[in-house]
Amino acid sequence: MRSSAMRDMMAITQRPEIISLAGGLPDTSTFPPELFAGEMDRIARNSVAEVLQYGPTEGLDLVREQITSVMATEGMSVDAGDVTVTTGGQQAIDLVTKVLIDPGDVLICDAPTYPGAIPTFCSYEADVIQIECDSDGMRIELLEATLAELASQGRRPKFIYSVPTFQNPGGVTLSLERRKRLVEIARENEILVIEDNPYGLLRYEGESLPTLYSLDGGAYVVYLGTFSKILSPGLRIGWIVSPTPIREKVVLGKQAADLCTSTLTQNFAGNYFERGPWRDYVDELIGIYRLRRDTMLGAMAEYFPHGSTWTRPEGGLFVWAKMPEVIDTEDLLAKALGHGVAFVPGTSAYVDGRGINSMRLNFSGVTEEQIIEGIRRIGEVAGEQMFLYETMTSEIKLPPLDDAGETKDGAP
Ligand SMILES: Cc1ncc(COP(=O)(O)O)c(C=O)c1O
């Protein structure tokens, strides 16, 4: 087992004096307290015995139904019977890995990948192969070459895990062409694709793309969702949509893990999505996060050292930045914490030590003022590191900078 860099940092980043650009926290302060009170009051009056009781392992029918209607807004047609409610999207990753991976099995994922998935993959002793991403997401030609190479060794990956839309951590989105090809590859090779999509509804610009699940129809794509980013991570409600043979195993895995997801929070979420103006709330979040994203991109252009590059996400919660090669972002983080600012160092998104000069920056859980100040402080400590390096070596080679200071290909 290895620890999650993000969870390790939680304790530090929750100190009030720290500006945390590290977490993936949605801004829960925007949720209307009277709406929360109204739902809880209704539960107190109508369903106390039910919400204080155990529930079915698969999840409450009301919630499974509501999950299908939320997925329908992203163009997916799903049978509620194929849904398993999980304790957050994190448990969804854990359960599919638990069910599908035996020690030593190969699984493939993005490079960089969701840092929280790495400890899960490692705890089930998977052999993790990461495929490089560029501004259009996972490079499918590299995936094909890797599959061919594995086949020549008589090996087959158990699954391909990807966050194709507004990726955590890269902020990039898999292009339509690559989506289609990935689904074809899954079919041709009979390999499962695990599509993890917490951010699809948080689009700030551009056209929506079909999910892998909708392109495939659910034959080879197992879909993972969560209410954490469009409602609340505190409720801990996620889900898996999978064909029956996998669903049955997932349910056995969940019974062993926690019997069932909280009936109290399922009731809350079920009622909220059935009744509440949830689309309005998502629209409100989109407005707030778009502004914060733009603020972050502007601050990076102003304060980050020459030679830095970064992605420009069309949605989601993260920007991925690459500093000049002389900077080790783990060292930088130690110094940045001393200056009261935190981020996730790039190495936590790789299994093999890559990402040394990269970092993931979150813009949803902090105010615009904090974003500007946080980026300014990171820029300052990075500038000091660069100066130190320069004076120690007296030679520094900087890559050419384009106009906006942004990466030319937007690659993570
Ligand atoms: C890609 C991805 N998957 C899963 C999760 C876990 O979400 P949850 O809070 O629902 O457990 C996250 C959280 O940041 C995420 O970014």
| Atom 14, ligand 1: residue with shortest CA distance | 24
Task: State phi, psi for 54 to the nearest 5 degrees.
Answer: -65, 160
pLDDT classification of 412: cutoffs 50, 70, 90: confident
The residues pairing with 238 across neighbouring beta strands, listed in sequence order, are 86, 226
Domains 5-29+281-393 and 53-275 share a fold: no
| Nearest to 113, CA basis, from 172, 157, 156 | 172
Nearest Cα residue to 230 out of 371, 54, 30:
30
So what's the pLDDT on residue 386? 87
User: pLDDT at position 367, please?
Assistant: 97
- C-alpha 198 – ligand 1 centre gap (Å): 6
Q: In angstroms, rounded to a whole number, what is the distance separating the alpha carbons of residues 289 and 267?
A: 28
pLDDT on residue 114: 97
Please report, for residues 169, 214, 332, 374, the alpha-carbon distance to residue 346 in angstroms, rounded to integers and kept in the order given. Answer: 9, 31, 11, 17
**Residue 310 forms beta bridges with which residues?**
321
Atom of ligand 1 nearest to the CA of 114: 1
Q: What's residue 377's pLDDT?
A: 98
> pLDDT tens digit string along 26-37?
999 999 999 999
Domain 5-29+281-393 sits in CATH 3.90.1150.10: yes
Alpha-carbon span 195 to 111, nearest angstrom: 15
CA distance 79 to 93: 21
Q: How far is the CA of 316 from the centre of ligand 1 (A)?
A: 12
> Which CATH number, 3.40.50.450, 3.40.1160.10, 3.30.70.260, 3.40.640.10, labels domain 53-275?
3.40.640.10
Q: What is the pLDDT of residues 207-262, one digit of tens each?
A: 999 999 999 999 999 999 999 999 999 999 999 999 999 999 999 999 999 999 99
Q: How confident is the model at residue 139 (pLDDT cuts 50, 70, 90)?
A: very high
- The pLDDT tens digits for 85-118 are 999 999 999 999 999 999 999 999 999 999 999 9
Question: How much distance in Å is there from the Cα of 383 to the middle of ligand 1?
Answer: 32
| 75 pLDDT above the threshold of 80 | yes
Q: What share of the chain is helix, strand, coil (3-state, %, to 5)?
A: 45, 15, 40
- For the whole prediction, is pTM greater than 0.75? yes
- Alpha-carbon 83 to chain mean position: 20
Between CA 329 and CA 337, with CA 335 as vertex, the angle to 5 degrees is 100
Tens-place pLDDT, residues 336-347: 999 999 999 999
Q: Which residues line ligand 1 (CB under 6 A)?
A: 24, 88-90, 114, 116, 163, 168, 196, 198, 226, 228, 233, 238
Q: With bands split at pLDDT 50, 70 and 90, how would you rate the model's confidence at 54?
A: very high
Task: Tell me the mean pLDDT in the region 68-72.
Answer: 98
Could you identify the atom of ligand 1 that is nearest to the CA of residue 227?
10
pLDDT at 64 over 80: yes
Nearest atom in ligand 1 to 226's CA: 10
Segment 320-349 shows an average pLDDT of: 94
Going from the Cα of 108 to the center of ligand 1, the distance in angstroms, rounded, reads: 18
- The alpha carbon torsion through 247, 252, 256, 258 (nearest 10 deg) reads 40
Q: Which residues contact 410 (CB under 8 A, 6 or more apart)?
A: 134, 135, 172, 311, 312
Instruction: Read off the pLDDT of each residue in 58-74 and give the average, rounded to a whole number.
Output: 98
Q: Residue 369: exposed, middle, or buried by beta-carbon count in 10 A (0-12, 13-18, 19+)?
A: exposed
Q: Predicted confidence band at 70 (pLDDT cuts at 50, 70, 90)? A: very high
Going from the Cα of 274 to the center of ligand 1, the distance in angstroms, rounded, reads 23
How far apart, in whole angstroms, are the C-alpha atoms of residue 70 and residue 202?
13
Residue among 114, 133, 165 whose CB has most ligand 1 atoms within 8 A, to mutate: 114
Q: What is the pLDDT of residues 198-218, one digit of tens each?
A: 999 999 999 999 999 999 999
Per-residue pLDDT at 362 exceeds 50: yes
Q: How many residues are listed for the chain in this entry? A: 412
> Domain-by-domain residue ranges, the chain?
5-29+281-393, 53-275
Residue 403 has what pLDDT? 47
Mean local confidence (pLDDT), 130-154: 98
